[in-house]
Amino acid sequence: MLSDSNQTAALTVELVNEEPEAASAAESAVSRYLATIGRKGGIKGGKARAKKLTSEQRSDIARLAAKTRWAAKEP
C-alpha cells in the first residue's frame, strides 16, 4: 500500500489513462462477431414470429399496439 495519498492518486490516474492492450483487440473481434449474429437473428426474427402466430394472435397484438399508441397521445 502506498503511504502518501498523492502517490495513490498518481497511480490511479496512471492506471486510468493506460492504453488497453491486446484485450481490446480481442474484445472488438468478439463484439463484431456478436453484432453479426445478432443482426442475422434480427433480420429473420419478425418474419419467423409472424409465421408461428395465428391470425387471431396477430390481430390481438395489433389491437394492443394501437390501443397503446392512442393511449400515449391522450392527455
If you write DSSP's letter for every residue of 10-65 in order, what string do you get?
Answer: HHHHHHHHSPP-HHHHHHHHHHHHHHHHHHHHHHHHHHHHHHHS-HHHHHHHHHHH
Most confident of 10-14, 57-61, 69-73: 57-61
Q: Cα–Cα distance between 75 and 73 in angstroms, integer? A: 6
pTM of structure: 0.39
More confident residue, 18 or 61: 61
Whether the predicted pLDDT of 23 surpasses 60: no
